[in-house]
Amino acid sequence: MSWLVVFAVMFWLATWAVNEWLSRRTFASHSVQKTVNLLIPLLFGVAVLVLWEGITRGLEVPRVLLPPPSMIWERILNSLPILWADFQQTFLKAVLAGYVLGCGSGFLVALLCDRSSFLKRGLLPLGNFVSALPIIGVAPIMVMWFGFDWQSKAAVVVIMTFFPMLVNTVQGLSAADHMQRDLMRTYASSWWQTLIKLRLPAASPFIFNALKLNSTLALIGAIVAEFFGTPIVGMGFRISTEVGRMNVDMVWAEIAVAALAGSAFYGLVALIERTITFWHPSIRSRRI
């Protein structure tokens, strides 16, 4: 069976060569260049999958250690109802509720901080400090307080997403420079008018930065919190029990769903960011 390995390695080298060639060339037309820029990472991803498949099948790597991608795919197709139920429990209930509450409260507290510089000077260093702490550790406490169901996971997500949102929003609210703020003052605009017309738009890159960061954190928080106790459904629950039963392909299927959900969530936030902060240099430059 070792020809499979040889084939996989050859395929890998071939795609590498194609990538090398593609990345050295510059294309006249923008649309072609765009497609090529998409194609290169895609080819790399396909090469990784082929190499993975070839090595696991060719060298007969134990299924427990690393199942081939085709087996994981088969498992995903065979257990769609279970995956959907887990996704519903973890993502649609815990992650979304926690994300909205955490980001929302972080944003509101940031506005409060903005009104009172005393609160800002007191909370901001603490917020920065807390961001470095292993907050995920509060999971067992939340499970104890809010029970096994999704509410406790949402609580963990709230705590995890609160501080990045707070710190970034406070930072973003001071992004509008003095000239612009003075201009608003000469217009005799109120604090609210300045906030909505000048400072929130100026802060939005920072806010979206936190939203993107939090989309990842929220999923991690919910899954890890499920390791501490759940009803018999949920992505974290499935991962920890199927690992115990050595059904590694099911675990990988669950991970694939988590990865897909995480990427889609991140992508959605990034998409909203592009439509709202279209004026920002980092987005304008990409359009050319």
Degrees, nearest 5: CA angle 229-230-234: 130
Identity of the residue numbered 196 = I
Site string for another protein, 116-135 (x = CB under 8 A): --xxxxxx-xx--x-xxxx-
C-alpha torsion angle, residues 197, 199, 204, 207 (rounded to 10): -140
Q: Closer CB to another protein, residue 189 or residue 229?
A: 229
- Do 110 and 211 form a contact (C-beta atoms < 8 A)? no
Closest contact distance (angstroms) between CB of 38 and another protein is 9
Site string for another protein, 243-282 (x = CB under 8 A): xx-x-x--x--xx--xx--xx-xxx---------------
Q: On the CB side of 263, how many CA atoms lie within 13 Å of its CA?
A: 6
The DSSP secondary-structure symbol of 273 reads: H
Site string for another protein, 60-89 (x = CB under 8 A): --x-xxx-----------------------
Distance of CA 48 to the CA centre of its chain: 22
Q: Going by C-beta distance under 8 Å and a sequence separation of 6 or more, which residues neighbour residue 257?
A: 76, 83, 86, 87, 235
Q: Closer CB to another protein, residue 41 or residue 231?
A: 41
Q: Which residue in 216, 233, 274, 280 binds another protein (CB under 8 A)?
A: 216
- Residues of this chain that interact with another protein (CB under 8 A) are 16, 19-20, 22-24, 37, 40-41, 43-45, 62, 64-66, 118-123, 125-126, 129, 131-134, 136-141, 143-145, 215-216, 219-220, 223-224, 227-229, 235-236, 239-240, 243-244, 246, 248, 251, 254-255, 258-259, 262-263, 265-267
